[in-house]
Amino acid sequence: MARYLVSGGAGYVGSHLVDLLVRQGGEVVVIDNLRQGHRAALPHAVELIEADIADTDALDDAFESGPFHAVFHFAALSLVGESMRQPLRYLRENVGGGLTLIDACIRHNVKRFVLSSTANLFSDTGTGPIAEHATIAPGSPYGESKLIIERALHWADTCHGLRSACLRYFNAAGSDPEGRLGEDHDPETHLIPLVIDTALGRRPPLTVFGDDYPTADGTCVRDYVHVSDLAHAHLCALRQLDTRSVTYNLGTGEGFSVLQVIKAVEQISGRRVPYRIGARRPGDPATLVAASTLIRTEANWHPKLTDLTTIVKTAHTWRAAHPLGYGDRGVLEEARPGALPLDPTKGRALGTQYLGAS
């Protein structure tokens, strides 16, 4: 049975990958400091090491329980706006933690590493789909921290033979179609959960930042990938590492505007979404859409759930059923008897604004 170490596996995207690995018969160890993650998002069989990835002793303990076929690295601070206010914290934690994890992989002879990277690496994004070879110029300290880890992985391969897949996500969205896993950040900054919460009357009217962009309806356009498709992309990329390191942009090639997302939520929830138009935010590109041909053709990735209706439907189902996110009882307990009790003190903070994609 293949064993995997997943950093940040109790978070939103990581927990969907952990679920997939377990379903495929893998044995998974998660290292997560639970700053944004949830024990309840993990199957009972998964060992959780509650520690920071900068903790070398905790990493050594984890690796000594190996060997691991691969390491998946999700753990990071990931709010673009926050990184503009706290640049050195982002560089210290994301770069320091990432390098510590890579170093531990090398010392413990791990040969495959998959990184959650970001579209925030690209500079002037224009209007067309962004390919892997587009100009790199990170838009924030957050994006810079991911780029440094990408570069460190290049040298870890060249000098130590640690092969890596750098997956530059555009926007992860939606929830596990069976309704057991969902998106539960505090604060929540992603558009789709915020629009859904607004429709459900759980937060004040939404502010749409700008309706005078050069897009069809004037609002910003983003590329949304269903989180379960994103999890599958990790397995496709992992197979590539048998022969070489790879870098892939991970989106669908199709963008949806903020107003299109609002309309989709209104249709699916049957409720009106109150919103007002605010000023543009500095640094928001009009359009951010991935060219996803490379991962499809090279790694045989075929997304199945990535249409806006399915994304919004699955996200709406989970959020409507779990007003307190994982603080609400009975998420994985129903599907997996024996899951640890949930922490009833953890609720969702409401009232934050849409701060943009990470």
Q: Which is nearer to ligand NAD, 75 or 206 (CB)?
A: 75
- Rounded Cα distance between 335 and 343, Å, is 18
Say whether residue 306 binds ligand NAD (CB under 6 A): no
Say whether residue 145 binds ligand NAD (CB under 6 A): no
Told to judge if 169 belongs to the known catalytic residues of this protein, a careful annotator would answer: no
Q: CB 301 → ligand NAD: shortest distance, Å?
A: 17
Q: How far is CA 132 from the centre of its chain?
A: 19
Measured CA distances, 280 to 109, 203, 248 (Å): 48, 21, 30
CB-based burial label for 105 (10 Å; 0-12, 13-18, 19+): buried
Query: Of 306, 157, 152, which is closest to residue 231 (Cα–Cα)?
Result: 306
Say whether residue 358 binds ligand NAD (CB under 6 A): yes
Largest CA distance in the chain: 56
The C-alpha angle 270, 179, 342, rounded to 5 degrees, equals 115
> Within the chain, how many helices (H) and strands (E) appear?
12, 14
Task: Count other C-beta atoms under 10 Å from residue 24's C-beta.
Answer: 9
Say whether residue 10 binds ligand NAD (CB under 6 A): yes
- Rounded Cα distance between 9 and 75, Å, is 8
Q: Which is nearer to ligand NAD, 140 or 198 (CB)?
A: 140
Say whether residue 193 binds ligand NAD (CB under 6 A): no
Q: What is the DSSP letter of 91?
A: I
Candidates 13, 80, 153, 199; binder of ligand NAD (CB under 6 A) is: 13
Candidates 21, 29, 53, 196; binder of ligand NAD (CB under 6 A) is: 53
Q: How many residues bind ligand NAD (CB under 6 A)?
A: 29
Say whether residue 37 binds ligand NAD (CB under 6 A): yes
Q: CB 346 → ligand NAD: shortest distance, Å?
A: 12
Among the residue ranges 17-25, 35-43, 206-214, 234-242, the one whose residues contact ligand NAD (CB under 6 A):
35-43
Measured CA distances, 164 to 7, 157, 291, 337 (Å): 15, 7, 20, 36
**Binding track over 82-121 against ligand NAD, x by CB under 6 A:** -----------x---x------------------x-x---
- Rounded Cα distance between 4 and 287, Å, is 36
Say whether residue 174 binds ligand NAD (CB under 6 A): no
Task: Count other C-beta atoms under 10 Å from residue 321's C-beta.
Answer: 13
Q: CB 60 → ligand NAD: shortest distance, Å?
A: 15
Q: CB 11 → ligand NAD: shortest distance, Å?
A: 2
Point out the residues that are catalytic.
Answer: 142
Q: Using CB under 6 A, list all residues that contact ligand NAD.
A: 8, 10-14, 32-37, 52-54, 74-76, 78, 93, 97, 116, 118, 169, 171-172, 185, 357-358
